[in-house]
Amino acid sequence: MKIIDSFKAIKSSVPERVGIVAVSKTKPATMIEELYFDAGHKVFGENKAQELDAKHAILPADIEWHFIGHLQSNKIKYIAPYISLIQSVDSFKLLTEINKEALKCDRIIPCLFQFHIATEETKYGFSIGEVYRMFDDGRLDELSNISVRGVMGMASLTSDERQIRSEFKTLFNNYNLLKNKYFLHKPEFHEISMGMTDDYQIAIEEGSTLIRIGSGIFGER
Ligand SMILES: *Cc1c(COP(=O)(O)O)cnc(C)c1O
């Protein structure tokens, strides 16, 4: 299927309120252009700073780039001037480094807290306790150039739908706990990024506001 047809099929199966990040990692800029020009889609996700930087340099300036991979501190400076949303913030140290780079380019950088909801050891992310501690001991107050917009998570790679659903429920629950404790009158804290090609329908049923689709749009990697 053509990229635009795959994209339209997914878009038409998703409620209006749910955003779509087209995950273009490993795919050439020409494929991004196809979706940008033919479907008018402007939100793309990448997981490597250097690859993102190369694409950003040659693609239209109004593309909203989301960073969705494990971000190393020494790479933040490359993407800080233009990144729309860093979805994969997984440590306080990273947050302070992002804040530092955001200050340098006089920006406020929107971020999501990535939670570890899967059973696999390899998936990065906070636990709810770690995030509580960051808020409660006041460490976050000093980060004036960070805007926390919500949460992100990846479910386990399994065909067990019950397990996937329960992991998404955990993320949804974490979002609500944080919303009620720290963001009650802060509408900018609204994003629950969960769901990929194989599990986005379950994620939407469990309250996702933003799905991240790669292979379902661009084909297998
Ligand atoms: C690669 C990736 C995706 C997209 O995965 P698909 O299964 O190809 O849709 C989504 N989120 C993250 C964090 C990824 O690394």
Q: Could you read off the pLDDT of 128-164 as tens digits, one per residue?
A: 999 999 999 999 999 999 999 999 999 999 999 999 9
For residue 91, what are the contacts with CB-CB under 8 A and spacing of at least 6?
Answer: 126
Residue nearest to atom 1 of ligand 1 (CA): 214
Q: Is 203 in the pocket of ligand 1 (CB under 6 A)?
A: no
- Cα separation, 164 vs 167, in Å, equals 5
Pocket test for ligand 1, best of 21, 26, 66, 68 (most atoms within 8 A of CB): 68
Q: Is the confidence at residue 121, as pLDDT, over 80?
A: no
What domains can be seen in the chain, in order of their start residue?
3-218 (3.20.20.10)
- Which atom number of ligand 1 is nearest to the Cα of residue 221? 8
User: What local confidence, expressed as pLDDT, does residue 20 receive?
Assistant: 98
> What is the CA(184)–ligand 1 centre distance, in A?
30
- Which atom of ligand 1 is least distant from the CA of 25? 1
Q: Which one of 112, 202, 212 would you pick to mutate in the ligand 1 pocket, going by the greatest count of ligand atoms within 8 A of its CB?
A: 212
Q: Using the atom order of ligand 1, give the atom closest to the CA of residue 47.
A: 15
Protein residue with its CA nearest to atom 11 in ligand 1? 212
User: Tokens standing for 217?
Assistant: 């749009």
Q: Residues 182-202: pLDDT tens digits? A: 999 999 999 999 999 999 999
- Is 69 within 8 Å of 48 (Cβ atoms)? yes
Specify the pTM. 0.98
Residue 1: the pLDDT is 80
More confident residue, 91 or 120: 91
Among 216, 150, 218, 194, smallest CA distance to 10 is for 216
**The pairing of beta strand 146-153 with beta strand 191-193:** parallel
Atom index in ligand 1 nearest the CA of residue 68 equals 13
User: What number is the average pLDDT over the span 66-90?
Assistant: 98
Is the shortest distance between the CB of 111 and ligand 1 below 6 Å?
A: no
- Which pairs from 216-219 meet CB under 8 Å and 24+ separation? 216/6, 216/10, 217/3, 217/6, 217/7, 217/10, 217/22, 217/23, 217/35, 218/3, 218/6, 218/22, 218/23, 218/24, 218/27, 218/31, 219/3, 219/6
pLDDT tens per residue across span 103-120: 999 999 999 999 999 988
Does the pLDDT value for residue 122 go beyond 80?
Answer: no
Report the separation in Å between the CA atom of 37 and the middle of ligand 1, taken as the mean of its atom positions.
22
C-alpha pair distances (Å), 156 with each of 17, 121, 159, 197: 25, 10, 9, 13
Backbone angles phi, psi at 155, to 5 degrees: -80, 165
Give the position, in ligand 1's atom list, of the atom nearest the Cα of 213.
Answer: 9
Tell me how far apart the alpha carbons of residues 196 and 136 are, in angstroms, rounded to a whole number.
Answer: 32
Q: Look at residue 120 in the predicted model and tell me its pLDDT.
A: 82
Residue 29 sits at φ, ψ, to 5 deg, of: -60, -30
